[in-house]
Amino acid sequence: MFKSGTIYSNFTPLVKAPVIGYRISGEDVLNILKKITKKNFSRYHSLIRIVKLYQKDNSILDECSVVFFKSPKSFTGEDLCEIFLHGSPLIASQFEQLLKDLKIPGLRLAKNGEFSYRSVLNSKNSLKQAKAINEIISNESFSELEYNKKLLFEGDIVSGLIPLREEIINLFSEITASIDFVDDEDFNFKKMMKKTRKFFTNCNNLLHKNRTNIEQKNICKIMLIGQVNVGKSTLFNKIIDKDRAIVTNIKGTTRDILSNEFFFNSNQFEIYDTAGQRSKQGKIEKYGYKKAQKISNKIDHFFVLIDKNTKKSDISALLRDFTIHKNFSLIETKSDIYKYKTGNIKINHSLERDKIYKKLKLSSIHSKYVKNKHKKTNFNLEEMDFLRRILDYEHDIVNEKDILIIAQLMRNILDDFSFEFGYINNEDVYDRVFSKFCIGK
Ligand SMILES: Nc1nc2c(ncn2[C@@H]2O[C@H](COP(=O)(O)OP(=O)(O)OP(=O)(O)O)[C@@H](O)[C@H]2O)c(=O)[nH]1
Ligand SMILES: [Mg+2]
């Protein structure tokens, strides 16, 4: 699937940003660096150098940081460099053109995952570690993230699948022995099936325990409610640090629910912006407001936004509409133009994001609704899917009487483990057959 050659690829998205990063790996890296920077990098292993990149006509393409890693001390195990261009997609396209114009045989755009693939081929990472890199990026829960980091930094040994892999190698070895040495008096079918059932019970228990740990609630859901024009969408945008919700001075601007995830102090939140409350809501506005009410039972905490125009009866109506008991805070908005004399939280649109987080007491709200966070696990979601696949064999194996069929099904499980970890070779199995069971023949 993967051919040799020197490969390159951007490792940040090609969008306007402070930097766009490129990685190049393979035997031509030093040659490429020499051509595009007019400098020799061979003595600069793992050092950041600020250099100019030159285009074909000798004009400067960019001035940027470049780091060179000499083989085998690089992520892929090959000569590798990382180039941090100014974050313009135009510069990035000029850079790719520059590489093409070098016309170096075998120099090409990398395929998905090819850098990690090479790191496995060159024994810089195990298959599991390479997969963990990808998992770390896509993690949804802190428990799983911590596990994937451990897997990456400490190796396969931390995986909860390792003891199961040992068990299945032992079981398969025992069965293989029983087939090859049918006359062996020590062989006991019932005893072996008992061990097999224990193996599946272990799989089941691990699946159950770790599913609870990984899928446990981590997110605290917060909804912004209040009268029209009070500043809900302004606060929503501020909290998520994006201009997502439309903000205007027209009452009833927001009609539908918007939600967005954000993090503060390693805590995960989901925030909802909603259509505002007023006595004469438009048809769509009313529909949006009702929609928000419908999901209110899934919300942990409400920020009820009020200003000088809000009456006590408006607040009561909001609490009633969203079935709120004690899980809310009153937030007074537009404190730059209104002077309040209450003990409520006061905010305005000029406050910095972090200041708003603190004023809203987000950390203590999170701990109030999310208990026992960051439980330890030694499985990730992919490994749990793997366990489920293994458990699919349970019924067929425990009900089977023919030792040859059981052996074949066990072989399938072993192959699945091989696929999951990389290869379990026959020696692993034969070692156990001939040493552990003391066959002595
Ligand atoms: N002076 C001042 N104006 C603000 C502040 N927050 C919001 N506004 C203004 O108030 C108006 C309404 O703000 P929005 O955030 O759209 O209010 P909303 O509650 O989402 O309104 P609806 O979507 O209509 O329910 C806009 O013109 C904002 O610029 C603030 O802290 N100070
Ligand atoms: Mg709004």
Distance, in Å, from the CA atom of 424 to the CA atom of 310, rounded to the nearest integer, reads 69
Residue minimizing CA distance to atom 7 of ligand 1:
231
Ligand 1 pocket residue status of 229, Cβ below 6 Å: yes
**262 and 190 belong to one structural domain:** no
397 pLDDT more than 90: yes
- pLDDT tens-place string over residues 297-317: 999 999 999 999 999 999 999
**397 and 432 belong to one structural domain:** yes
Query: Which of 224, 229, 258 to probe ligand 1 with, by most ligand atoms within 8 A of CB?
Result: 229
Query: At 352, is the pLDDT very low, low, confident or very high (cuts 50, 70, 90)?
Result: very high
Q: Which residue has the higher pLDDT, 278 or 86?
A: 86
**98 and 50 belong to one structural domain:** yes
pLDDT at position 23, please? 97
Domain harbouring 346, CATH code? 3.40.50.300
pLDDT at position 2, please? 54
Least confident of 95-104, 142-151, 356-365: 142-151
**225 and 357 belong to one structural domain:** yes
- Contact in structure between 241 and 354 (CB atoms under 8 Å): no
Domain harbouring 109, CATH code? 3.30.1360.120
**226 and 200 belong to one structural domain:** no
The answer to whether position 163 is within a domain reads yes
Residue minimizing CA distance to atom 6 of ligand 1:
231
Widest CA span of the chain, in angstroms?
A: 94
Considering every ligand atom shown, identify the ligand nearest to the alpha carbon of residue 258 and give its number.
2
Q: Which two tokens stand for residue 204?
A: 């089941």
**251 and 276 belong to one structural domain:** yes
Please say which residue of 319, 338, 369 terminates a domain: 369
pLDDT at position 339, please? 93
pLDDT at position 439, please? 36
Task: Please give the model's pTM, rounded to 2 decimal places.
Answer: 0.69
**Count of C-beta atoms within a 10 Å radius of residue 235:** 26
Question: What whole-number percentage of the chain has pLDDT above 70?
Answer: 93
33 pLDDT more than 70: yes
7: CB partners within 8 A, 6+ apart: 24, 25, 26, 107, 108, 109, 110, 111, 114, 115
Query: At 186, is the pLDDT very low, low, confident or very high (cuts 50, 70, 90)?
Result: low
170 pLDDT more than 70: yes
Least confident of 87-101, 167-181, 241-255, 261-275: 167-181
pLDDT at position 436, please? 43
pLDDT at position 440, please? 36
| Ligand 1 nearest atom to the CA of residue 277, by list position | 25
**250 and 320 belong to one structural domain:** yes
**227 and 361 belong to one structural domain:** yes
The answer to whether position 148 is within a domain reads no
Distance, in Å, from the CA atom of 286 to the CA atom of 278, rounded to the nearest integer, reads 9
The answer to whether position 132 is within a domain reads no
- pLDDT tens-place string over residues 414-438: 999 988 887 666 665 555 544 444 3
Ligand 1 pocket residue status of 334, Cβ below 6 Å: yes
Q: 59: domain range? A: 7-121
Name the average pLDDT for the chain: 89
- pLDDT tens-place string over residues 355-379: 999 999 999 999 999 876 667 889 9
pLDDT at position 36, please? 97
- pLDDT tens-place string over residues 41-66: 999 999 999 999 999 899 999 999 99
Please say which residue of 70, 93, 121 terminates a domain: 121
Please say which residue of 369, 389, 419 terminates a domain: 369
176: CB partners within 8 A, 6+ apart: 407, 429, 433
| Mean pLDDT of all residues in 81-94 | 97
Ligand 1 pocket residue status of 304, Cβ below 6 Å: no
| Ligand 1 nearest atom to the CA of residue 234, by list position | 15
**390 and 357 belong to one structural domain:** no
**34 and 168 belong to one structural domain:** no
Distance, in Å, from the CA atom of 195 to the CA atom of 200, rounded to the nearest integer, reads 9
The answer to whether position 136 is within a domain reads no
74 pLDDT more than 80: yes
